[in-house]
Chain A
Amino acid sequence: MNRFDYVRAGSVAEAVAAHGAGAAYLASGTNLLDLMKGGVTRPERLVDISRISGLDAVETLPDGGVRIGALARNATLAHDPAFAKAYPAVAEALLSGASAQLRNAATTAGNVLQRTRCQYFYDTASACNKRQPGAGCGARGGATRTHAILGWSEACIATHPSDFCVPLAALDAIVEIEGPAGRREIPLADFHRLPGDAPERETELAPGELIVAVRLPPDAKKFAAHSRYLKVRERTSYAFALVSAAVGLTLEGNRIGQARIALGSVALKPWRAREAESLLADQVPSPELFAKAADAALAGATPSGDNAAKIELARRIVVRALTLAQAGTPARVPALPASPFAAAPSGARP
C-alpha cells in the first residue's frame, strides 16, 4: 500500500473541501483498503468521513419514505426491525452479502460505491480499461464464467457485485449527493454507468462529490408483503452472487398491480428490468406469465465469454423470485438469507 495523506473530516463541507485530485473518501474501508492492498488503486490522500456526525442516521421522512445516512452500517440497517418490515428485500439482500464482520463495518455509501470483483481488475498484471483507460480488457478471451451478460462492451465485461443495490434499484431509490457544486440527487438505477467506451467512469459522481444518503421513496413500502431477494452463489454463504434478483409485487385481488424487478451481477450496474415489469402489470400471475417476464428481462442478454449459462440462470432466477414474491414475504429474514435453501412456502416450487 502506498503512503498517503490522511485527513479526518468533521463535516461534509470539510470533507468536500479536503478532497482533490488523487483523493478518495474513506468510510469503513472494507472495499477501499482491499483495493489499496492489492495495488488496484493508489490514492494520494484519504479523506476520512467516518466520524461525520449524523451521517449514519436512518430516518423516516414526513412523506413516508426513508432516508438512510451514508454511514449507516449494512448490519444496523438490515437488523432495524421497522426498516426490515417495510423493505424486506433490502434487508435480505444486505444479510446475504459478505460476512457478518464485513456487514458490521460496511456502510450504505460504501456498498453502493463498491467496485467490481472482476478478477482482471484485481490482477494488476492484466490489462484493464478501468484501471488504465485504453489498456484493453484482459478478461476478454480469458476466464469469464462470472462476467457480464447485459450491457457490456468490448472495453469492459465486468459486473457490479453489490447485493444491496439490486433491491434499491428495483425500489426506485435515490442517491443524495453533496459536492463542490452543491447538493443534487440521482436515481440509483441511473447512478452506476454501463461501460461503453469509458469503463473508468463507474458512476455519475463528479470529482469530489460525496454520497450523503440513499432515500427510498414513499411508495417503496407497498411491495413489502410480496418481496424477495434471491441470490445464486457457489457456496452456501460468504460468496458473491453468480446472479441475483430482487422482486417486489403488489397484488390486487387475483391480479398483479405493479411489479418491480432488478437483477444483480449480470451487468456493470444493478439491472432494472422495466420491460418485464410492464408485462406483469395488471396481469393474473401464472408460471407462463413469469416465464414471459423472465424472457423479457433477459431479451438483450449475450454471453461476454464462457458464461452463456448465466443467461439461462438469470432467466430462471427471475421466475423463481417472482414465484416466491407472489407466495409472500417470510415473516422473518430466513436463516440463510436469499438462498435457494431458505425454507420456502410449501408448494411454491414447480
Chain B
Amino acid sequence: MSFPETGFPITLTVNGESRSLVLEDARVTLLDALRERLDLTGSKKGCDRGQCGACTVLLDGVRINACLALAVSHDGASITTIEGLADGDVLHPVQAAFVDHDGFQCGFCTPGQIMSAVGLIREGQAGDDPERVREGMSGNLCRCGAYAGITEAVLAAHAAMHAPDVLPGGHLIEDAA
C-alpha cells in the first residue's frame, strides 16, 4: 500500500495506551515520534545512530534502538518506554535496583540502560552470570562510568524478579552493596 502525500497516520500502543498521530512525512524515527510528537521525553537521544543505546525502548517486548527505526514502519506496534515501567509510584524492580546500586550518575543514559536491562532479563540469556550481563549491557554507553553499579543493579533485579516470593515493586530488594 502507498501512503497519501498529505501525511502518514499511524497508531502506536505506547505504555499500554493507544496513541494516534499523523506524521507529515515518512522520515520520522520512532525516537523522534516519541520525544517530539508524543512528549515522551524519557527516551534520550545521545547519538541518533544506534551507537550509544540511550534511546532503547521495548518494541513488542524486545529492546531496540528507537533512533534507528522508522515510526511509520512500526504502525500498530506496542512500545514500552521508561515512562511506562513503574506501577504508579511503585518502581519496577530494575528501576529500584538502579537507585539502590547507584547505577547512574548524570542520568542521561539511564532510561536506555534500564529499558535495556528489562529487555536483557526478558531475553533470559544472561541469567545471573555477571560476564553475560556486562556483555548484554554493552550496547548502552555510560560516559560517567557507572558500569559497576549497572551490573550490580541488573543482577539484583534479576534475582528479585526470579525470587519465588517477589512482591510488586522493588523496595524490598536488599542492598547488596
Contact = CB atoms under 8 A, between A and B. Distances in A.
A and B touch in the complex (CB under 8 A): yes
Interface of A: 1-8, 10, 18, 26, 28-30, 33-34, 36-38, 46, 48, 50, 75, 79, 98-102, 104-105, 236-238, 335-337
The DSSP consensus for interface residues of chain B is: mixed
Interface stretch (B67-75, B87-95, B153-161, B168-176): B67-75
- Interface centre among A8, A75, A337, by most chain B C-beta atoms within 10 angstroms, is A8
B64 interface: yes
Contact of B26 (A18, A38, A46): A46
A312 B48 CA distance: 36
B39 interface: no
A29 B64 CA distance: 12
B37 interface: no
A105 B68 CA distance: 9
Contacts of B53: 99, 101
Interface centre among B68, B69, B123, B140 (most CB of A within 10 A): B68
Nearest to B49: A34
Greatest chain B CB density within 10 A among A2, A29, A33, A237 is at: A33
Given A28-B69, A335-B129, A100 B139 contact: yes
B131 A238 contact: no
A116 to B, nearest CB: 16
Nearest to A38: B49
13 contacts: A3-B26, A4-B27, A6-B3, A28-B68, A29-B69, A34-B68, A38-B49, A46-B26, A99-B140, A101-B64, A104-B64, A104-B119, A236-B135
A75 B129 CA distance: 19
Contacts of B29: 33
B73 A26 contact: yes
B120 interface: yes
A209 to B, nearest CB: 21
Contact of A236 (B65, B70, B72, B138): B138
B2 to A, nearest CB: 5
Nearest to B58: A104
A202 to B, nearest CB: 21
Contacts of B70: 6, 26, 29, 33, 46, 48
Interface string B105-146: 000000000001001100101000101101110111000000
Nearest to A49: B73
B73 A48 contact: yes
A33 B139 contact: no
A33 B69 CA distance: 8
Given A26-B73, A30-B68, A336-B135, A101 B56 contact: yes
B63 interface: yes
B46 interface: no
Contacts of B140: 99
Nearest to B129: A335
A30 B50 contact: yes
Contacts of B49: 34, 37-38
A6 B75 CA distance: 13
B131 A98 contact: no
A2 B125 CA distance: 39
Nearest to B72: A6
A38 B67 CA distance: 13
A30 B64 CA distance: 10
Contact of B131 (A10, A105, A336): A336
